């Protein structure tokens, strides 16, 4: 089957195509070069006047795993306002802040997304995370495995064990739990909270192990680098949400010591202490640091106003913020000498000074960061806002008039504390395609998604070129997954099951005996039962299969 997508305006930054009118050819789920004249084209789509991009990639979205299911259980009132009816093709589910996996997959696809990456997979909870991702239709998926507060690693560090042993452990975990990257959340801090430490600065010692967050960042970024895992260490820094945390964040960037580092939801880590309320924007300092540090990337974690729920591994921060819960309920959980999680429902209000300034800070970072290849578009779903707000966020970036109108509605004191109104930058379609396609694929080390060159998977989104960019990005005309139309005019027309993406770095199997002994002595399950087989993964994912991406060494 040879398909031709004819005459669309193509935005494909990975191949330096900026809005040129081009034909695309698809065969057997992939993009191919122009056919020979004698080859028969089975179907042609006339895309004249349409905007064509690769399927979008969300590189940081909490779509699966224990904390999300706690959030779902906690919020029946939120689901009731957004029930998703079954159709002949799709199943009943519920959406909004903590949507069901079925609604998650349908809605991501309906917005033109074809791959989503869950950023906080706890090793002991990896099976659940993969089961949930497996039940998320249409989109491809993958997970970053969370380390850094697990007692096994902290013991190795406290005993000053060799980096090679730590690398073996990190590689074993990635193999056993099928991750595509490593995430660290409040390095050492989730463990410190179990010892009743309520804060842990970058150079503050864990009360039991004596290691600091900087130490954890150093060994984990080295491990990721030395194992050749393409995705840099994915870092949720210390002191999330704390006024003045900009210094911690800048220190964290430096703590990578020149190795690649990804700072996630950086908006929540870009706060100063100026002004009467001792809360101010430090976006300019953060953007300057990112701009000047080529080894650093970030995603923004933009907040948008309305009801959502925050779900994080950072128990220390979530407990600290539990008093702000709305509705007034929260869950904090210590987990298996491995990690933790906290779930706090939250309603961001434009008339609230802090929330209004958070909104402005996120947008300032987007507009001040000079290299779109190193800034990714996220709301840290659902922490800043549900992912369904992405089209609105894209319009805020692309449409200065719209942005400034929204700014006018904000709390007046917050308005006075932001330079946003003076920032004239408007993102182009080419830049949006970098943020949401080309750059995420590149930083994940996935060669065949996020672009439209020959050999790429035929995951393609076709938009009508509407001046209202929110409308345009809400309802693509076509979404192709592996060369098949799965969405037409913003509605699912075919349900497929996307693949899992993962890496399998090599390691010395000597670590396995040590892990078995550790699990038998201290844990309440066997190490062998932590390991998920490929057969299990395939069953979890409805047979869609696993794609292992190469490590660099």
Partner 1 sequence: MPASPKLSEAVSGVTCPFCGLLCDDLVVASAGGGLAVRENGCGLAIAGFAQAGAQDPATPRISGRPVTLPEAAAEAARLLRDARQPLIAGLATDVAGARAVGRLADRSGAILDHMNSAAALRNLLVLQDSGWITTTLSEVRNRADLLLVAGGDVVSRFPRFFERCLGRGETLFGKHHQCEVIFLGQGPPTGFSLPGPATTILSCRVERLGEAFGVLRALLAGRRIDATGAAGLALARWRELVERMKRARYGVVAWAAADFDFPHAELTIQSLCELVKDLNRDTRFSCLPLGGSDGDLTSDAVHLWQTGFGGRTSFAQGVPRYDQYHFSAAHLLGSGEADMLMWVSSFHASRTPPDTAVPTVVLGRAGMTFEREPAVYIPVGTPGIDHTGHLFRTDRVVVLPLGQLRATSLPSVADAIVAIEAAF
Q: Is 522 in the site for partner 1 (CB under 8 A)?
A: yes
The count of residues interacting with partner 1 (CB under 8 A) is: 67
Of 56-85, which residues contact partner 1 (CB under 8 A)? 64, 66, 68-70, 72-76, 79-80, 83-85
Closer Cβ to partner 1, 92 or 409, answer by number: 92
| 29-37, 437-445, 500-508, 517-525 -> range binding partner 1 (CB under 8 A) | 517-525
Q: x/- contact string, 152-181, with partner 1 (CB under 8 A)? A: ---x--------------------------
CB atoms within 10 A of CB 138: 28
CB of 159 to partner 1, least distance (A): 13
> Of 10, 47, 60, 93, which one interacts with partner 1 (CB under 8 A)?
93
* Alpha-carbon torsion, ordered 119, 120, 122, 126, to 10 deg: -50
Instruction: Cite the beta strand spans of 175-230 per DSSP E.
Output: 181-185
> Cα-Cα-Cα-Cα dihedral of 445, 118, 162, 551, to 10°?
-20
Which residues have C-beta within 8 Å of that of residue 420, sequence separation ≥ 6? 360, 363, 364, 367, 403, 407
Q: How many CA atoms, within 13 angstroms, populate the side-chain half-sphere of residue 88?
A: 2
185 with 146: CB under 8 angstroms?
yes
Residue 136 or 461 with smaller CB distance to partner 1: 136
Identify which range of 213-221, 335-343, 347-355, 370-378 contacts partner 1 by CB under 8 A: 335-343
Determine the interface stretch with partner 1 among 2-10, 218-226, 326-334, 369-377 (rule: CB under 8 A): 326-334
- Burial of 44: CB neighbours in 10 Å, binned 0-12, 13-18, 19+: middle
User: 388: which 2 tokens?
Assistant: 């369904």
Name the minimum Å distance from CB 334 to partner 1: 5
Distance (Å, whole) CA 372 – CA 440:
11
Q: Which of the stretches 8-16, 323-331, 381-389, 425-433 binds partner 1 when contact is defined by CB under 8 A? A: 323-331
Enter the DSSP assignment of 454.
Answer: T
- Is residue 94 close enough to count as binding partner 1 by CB under 8 A? yes
Cβ-based nearer residue to partner 1, 314 or 459: 314
Which residues does 418 contact at the CB level (< 8 Å), separation at least 6?
Answer: 281, 357, 360, 361, 364, 407
Biggest distance spanned by C-alpha atoms of the chain: 73
Choice between 196 and 422, CB closer to partner 1: 196
Cα 202 to Cα 26: distance, rounded to the nearest angstrom: 50
Name which of residues 190 to 249 contact partner 1 (CB under 8 A).
Answer: 193-196, 208
CB of 173 to partner 1, least distance (A): 16
Binding mask 342-371 for partner 1 (x = CB under 8 A): -x----------------------------
Q: Rank residues 72 and 457 by Cβ distance to partner 1 and give the closer one.
A: 72
Smallest distance from partner 1 to CB 336, Å:
4
Q: From CA 181, how far away is CA 444, in angstroms rounded? A: 8
β strands within 415-488, DSSP E: 460-464, 478-481, 484-488
The total of other beta-carbon atoms located within 10 Å of residue 402's CB is: 17
- Residue 183, C-beta contacts closer than 8 angstroms, at least 6 positions apart: 119, 120, 121, 144, 145, 146, 147, 233, 234, 235, 236, 264
Among 319, 373, 402, 430, binds partner 1 (CB under 8 A): 319
Instruction: Pick the piece of the chain touching partner 1 (CB under 8 A) from 96-104, 275-283, 400-408, 483-491.
Output: 96-104
Which residues contact partner 1 by CB under 8 A? 64, 66, 68-70, 72-76, 79-80, 83-86, 91-95, 98-103, 122, 124-125, 127-128, 131-132, 135, 151, 155, 193-196, 208, 319, 325, 328-338, 343, 521-526, 528-529, 533, 536, 539
């Amino acid at each position: 089957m040879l398909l031709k997508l004819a005459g669309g305006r193509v935005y494909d930054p990975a191949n330096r195509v900026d809005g040129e009118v081009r034909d695309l050819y698809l065969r057997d789920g992939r993009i191919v070069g122009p056919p020979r004249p004698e080859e028969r084209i089975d179907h042609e789509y006339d895309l004249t006047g349409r905007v064509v991009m690769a399927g979008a990639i969300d590189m940081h979205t909490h779509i699966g795993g224990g904390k999300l299911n706690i959030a779902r259980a906690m919020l029946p009132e939120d689901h009731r306002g957004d029930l998703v009816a079954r159709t002949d093709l799709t199943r009943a589910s519920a959406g909004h802040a903590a949507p069901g996996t079925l609604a998650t997959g349908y809605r991501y696809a309906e917005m033109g997304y074809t791959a989503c990456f869950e950023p906080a997979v706890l090793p002991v909870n990896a099976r659940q995370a993969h089961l949930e991702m497996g039940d998320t239709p249409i989109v491809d998926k993958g997970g970053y495995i969370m380390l850094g507060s697990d007692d096994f690693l902290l013991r190795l560090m406290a005993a000053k064990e060799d980096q090679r042993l730590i690398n073996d452990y990190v590689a074993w975990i990635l193999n056993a739990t099928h991750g595509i990257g490593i995430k660290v959340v409040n390095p050492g801090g989730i463990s410190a909270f179990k010892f009743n430490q309520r804060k842990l600065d970058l150079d503050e010692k864990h009360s039991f192990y004596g290691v600091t967050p900087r130490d954890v960042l150093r060994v984990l970024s080295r491990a990721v680098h030395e194992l050749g895992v393409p995705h840099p260490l994915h870092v949720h820094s210390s002191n999330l949400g704390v006024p003045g945390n900009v210094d911690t964040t800048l220190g964290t960037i430096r703590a990578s010591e020149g190795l690649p580092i990804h700072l996630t939801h950086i908006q929540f880590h870009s706060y100063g202490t100026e002004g009467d309320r001792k809360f101010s924007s430090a976006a300019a300092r953060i953007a300057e640091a990112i701009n000047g540090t080529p080894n650093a990337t970030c995603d923004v974690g933009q907040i948008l106003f309305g009801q959502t729920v925050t779900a994080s591994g950072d128990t220390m921060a979530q407990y600290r913020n539990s008093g702000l819960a709305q509705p007034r309920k929260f869950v904090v959980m210590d987990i298996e000498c491995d990690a933790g999680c906290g779930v706090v429902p939250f309603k961001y209000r434009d008339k609230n000074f802090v929330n209004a300034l958070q909104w402005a800070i996120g947008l300032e970072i987007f507009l001040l960061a000079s290299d779109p290849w190193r800034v990714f578009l996220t709301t840290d779903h659902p922490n800043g806002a549900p992912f369904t707000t992405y089209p609105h966020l894209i319009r805020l970036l692309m449409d200065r008039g719209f942005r400034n109108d929204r700014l006018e509605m904000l709390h007046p004191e917050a308005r006075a504390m932001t330079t946003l109104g003076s920032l004239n930058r408007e993102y182009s379609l080419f830049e949006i395609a970098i943020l949401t396609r080309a750059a995420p694929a590149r930083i994940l080390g996935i060669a065949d998604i996020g672009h439209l060159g020959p050999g790429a998977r035929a995951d393609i989104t076709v938009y009508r070129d509407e001046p209202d960019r929110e409308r345009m990005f809400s309802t693509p005309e076509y979404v192709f997954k592996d060369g098949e139309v799965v969405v037409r005019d913003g509605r699912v027309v075919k349900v497929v099951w996307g693949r899992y993406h993962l890496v399998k770095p090599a390691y010395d199997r000597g670590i396995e005996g040590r892990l078995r002994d550790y699990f038998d002595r201290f844990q309440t399950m066997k190490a062998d039962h932590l390991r998920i087989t490929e057969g299990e993964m395939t069953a979890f994912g409805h047979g869609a299969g696993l794609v292992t991406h190469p490590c660099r060494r």
